[in-house]
Structure 1
């Protein structure tokens, strides 16, 4: 029988604190921070161009990689949930990164880009995680608990030109 009680708030646990940044910042502050950080990371010769033109040329992308063996054997909703866990976790883990701030900026929140790919199984996702670590690509390998199963991974947002080479051999998830 399903419980009708609401889920417990994880922030009530002593080991976890509420996300102070989100609760204390206004959209205006985030927008100004985004503009300053984004413009400081742009080459001087490109500063004359509008940020949206630069974004179109080399968009920020978050890569999400799922396991095909789980797609074929688990309910679709469960696999989608694993990808969501990895994506949100990567964004949260790297929330102070300028690229993540730019990706989540209020002006661009409706323009997020994700590429969802697949690998065959557990060994391939573990190998990919190691290659990303070696290449300096920040990511979150989601390990489902309590089963301890690596189900998927997600990168923090990167310019497409920076991260795409790590994913060229993978298939789009269909």
Structure 2
């Protein structure tokens, strides 16, 4: 039996969706702060789902891990995505930066692309 996520059709990917407005006025966050949000969310999602077979297989890929970083227009778009993921029982972590209490990012646990892509296809790659 093949390992979870093995083979070209089941290639595992971790999707991270950041608010695109964090770097624009009036927020104007520096690039490093935005990257940190993605890192926090990705690590939190992996930690929360560490025991899942797909997470283990993804981590075992070491230097071949695939992560896709997308951007949501703003907090509202991120909130809507979180609701959609919740409705479809897709494991994810919403990152809320503290102490500011600002929702900044969502990271999914590693999934085969075909299982989750339909919920993320409206988001563009982060620029």
Q: TM-score, normalised by structure 2?
A: 0.92
> Is 1:63 aligned to 2:15, yes or no?
yes
> Is 1:80 aligned to 2:35, yes or no?
yes
The structure where strand makes up a greater share of residues is 2
State the Cα deviation string for residues 60-105 of structure 1 (Å, max 9, x = none): 0000001011022100000000000000010000000010011011
Q: Separation in 2 of the partners of 1:82 and 1:151?
A: 7
- Call closer, same or farther: CA 1:118–1:40 in 2, change over 3 Å: closer
Q: Which structure's relative contact order is higher, taking Cα pairs within 8 Å and 6+ residues apart?
A: 2
Displacement of 1:136 after TM fit? 1.1
Alignment of 1:123-134 (within 5 A): 123-134=76-87
Q: Separation in 2 of the partners of 1:146 and 1:171?
A: 29
Structure with bigger gyration radius? 1
Q: Separation in 2 of the partners of 1:145 and 1:88?
A: 16
> Is 1:152 aligned to 2:110, yes or no?
no
Displacement of 1:40 after TM fit? 6.2
Displacement of 1:39 after TM fit? 3.0
Find the residue that maps to 1:39 and give its secondary structure.
coil
RMSD of equivalent CA atoms: 1.5
Q: Separation in 2 of the partners of 1:111 and 1:63?
A: 15
Q: Report what 1:109 is aligned to.
A: 62
Q: TM-score, normalised by structure 1?
A: 0.68
The size of the alignment, in residue pairs, is 124
Q: Separation in 2 of the partners of 1:147 and 1:126?
A: 17
CA contact (8 A) 2:4 2:10 kept: no
Q: Separation in 2 of the partners of 1:84 and 1:41?
A: 24
Q: Report what 1:162 is aligned to.
A: 115
